[in-house]
Amino acid sequence: MRAEVIAVGSELLLGEGVDTNSAWISARLAEIGVDVYRHVTVGDNLERLVAALGEAAARTDAVIVTGGLGPTQDDITRDAVATLAGVALERREELVEYVYGYFARGGREMPERNLVQADIPAGARVLQPVGTAAGFAMPVGSSVVYCVPGPPSEMRPMVERDVVGDLIARGALSVTLSRTVHTAGITESAVAEACAEIVERLDRDGGATLAFYASGGETRVQVRAKGATRTEAERLLAPVVEQVVRELGPAVVGLDGEGVEHAIGRLLRAAELTLAVAESITGGGIGARLVRVAGASDWFRGGLITYATETKRSLAGLDPGLLADHGPVSEPTAAGLAMAAADRLGADIGLGIVGVAGPTTQGDQPVGTICVGVAFPAAGLTRTRTLRVPARDRAEALEFAASVALDWLRRRLAELA
């Protein structure tokens, strides 16, 4: 079964929003064996949207349209589908009652404009709304156009509830599964080289595929397998994932949604140790990643944001002489911050990080320099290192700095273990 996804909204073309819906829909359809051939983004223009819908419906068995179902004048998806199908919009009384009830339940008065969300192309099947916007499915030639809202919190439940089941009933019979192996502290090319024999075997024998993705100092290996049933897909997938993990060894930090912060949490929990951080260059970015881990409160005490040099003295209590002698971006400063984090927040281990995000150098340190320190006061251990990270812009430098520092901490914790 072939499908295309159309995202509607001029804000997407202007760079004012990011289309995450199409990626999610494609991943979900792949799991049920639907081949997505194209992603198309169309602005809020009726003529262009009608043309895009017509072309997609002529090429595929299903078109999933996301966005353009709101109550404002630029929400034109329902008009475009009706125009393409050559039918009128009709007001569905059950949707009128639903929209009135939705606002009443929230104790709000409904603007009259919201009633346009009860207008559906004649002959379309209503997909029950999650918010105020109903979706609908409309046959167009040999294809079916499924229209769902743009907000992900409304789109995803509707696709799961109405679109996926309908596509399975129409003949999407295979299952595609994927798992992701997360690595840190190793380049994308090194990951690919380590997996070269696996790729060669899969190219020859089939059964699964590998894809490599690098971002922010970390590389992901996505393993995909397709089978007639979920059991068959899992049978093909599992041994390949195991082999990838084996080949990459210590570089592997987790599977699927688990990154380096999850690996740190596992190590700390196993050792019954706690962690605190003191951040300069990353400004809280490391702490933000650590608290993504469920149960982080068991082992993460918190952090100090010591961005300005003066704050390193006043908040972390660093010796002014140390800062004067070595500078704010130095290994001694990173070590001092690590000790201060552990001491002031009552943690077993402290992590300190300083660096230069740019766009200009700091002292004699070039942009992209980071200095990391780890302190374990009870054992009298302090470890430091200076690293260089890509720094084409500040955002990239900050992302890389957090990833590199976390992976360096992970490796030191593994040594402790």
Q: From first to last of its 417 residues, what are the pLDDT tens digits of the chain?
A: 899 999 999 999 999 999 999 999 999 998 888 999 999 999 999 999 999 999 999 999 999 999 999 999 999 999 999 999 999 999 999 999 999 999 999 899 999 999 999 999 999 999 999 999 999 999 999 999 999 999 999 999 999 999 999 998 887 667 888 999 999 999 999 999 999 999 999 999 998 999 999 988 899 999 999 888 889 999 999 999 999 999 999 999 999 999 999 999 999 999 999 999 999 999 999 999 999 999 999 999 999 999 999 999 999 999 999 999 999 999 999 999 999 999 999 999 999 999 999 888 887 889 999 999 999 999 899 999 999 988 778 888 899 999 999 999 999 999 887
Strand, helix or coil for residue 104: helix
C-alpha distance across the termini of the chain, in Å? 51
Burial class (CB in 10 A: 0-12, 13-18, 19+), 288: middle
Identify whether residues 165 and 181 lie together within a single domain. Answer: no
Identify whether residues 185 and 212 lie together within a single domain. Answer: yes
Distance CA 192, CA 99 (A): 52
Identify whether residues 181 and 160 lie together within a single domain. Answer: no
- The CATH number of whichever domain residue 70 belongs to comes to 3.40.980.10
Identify whether residues 362 and 409 lie together within a single domain. Answer: yes
pLDDT of residue 294: 96
- The CATH number of whichever domain residue 224 belongs to comes to 3.30.70.2860
Name 96's Cβ contacts closer than 8 Å, sequence gap at least 6: 115, 118
Identify whether residues 123 and 241 lie together within a single domain. Answer: no
pLDDT of residue 117: 95
Where is the domain boundary, 230, 255, 280? 255
pLDDT of residue 216: 81
User: Half-sphere exposure of 134 toward its Cβ, with a 13 Å CA cutoff?
Assistant: 26
Identify whether residues 393 and 410 lie together within a single domain. Answer: yes
Identify whether residues 213 and 164 lie together within a single domain. Answer: no
DSSP 300-317: EEEEEE--SHHHHHHTT-
CB atoms inside a 10 Å sphere around CB 80: 27
Identify whether residues 249 and 330 lie together within a single domain. Answer: no
Strand, helix or coil for residue 135: strand
- The CATH number of whichever domain residue 318 belongs to comes to 3.90.950.20
- Characterize the bridge pairing of strands 62-66 and 143-148: parallel
Identify whether residues 309 and 220 lie together within a single domain. Answer: no
pLDDT of residue 363: 78
pLDDT of residue 172: 62
Domain limits at 198? 175-255
Identify whether residues 27 and 118 lie together within a single domain. Answer: yes
Where is the domain boundary, 193, 222, 255? 255
The owner of tokens 């397998």 is: 225
Reference 100, options 88, 112, 86, 91; nearest CA is 112
Structure tokens at 121: 């192309």
Identify whether residues 123 and 271 lie together within a single domain. Answer: no
Where is the domain boundary, 126, 144, 169? 169
The partner residues of 64 in beta bridges, in order of sequence, read 5, 146
Overall domain count for the chain: 3
DSSP 276-303: EEEESTTTTHHHHHHTTSTTGGGTEEEE
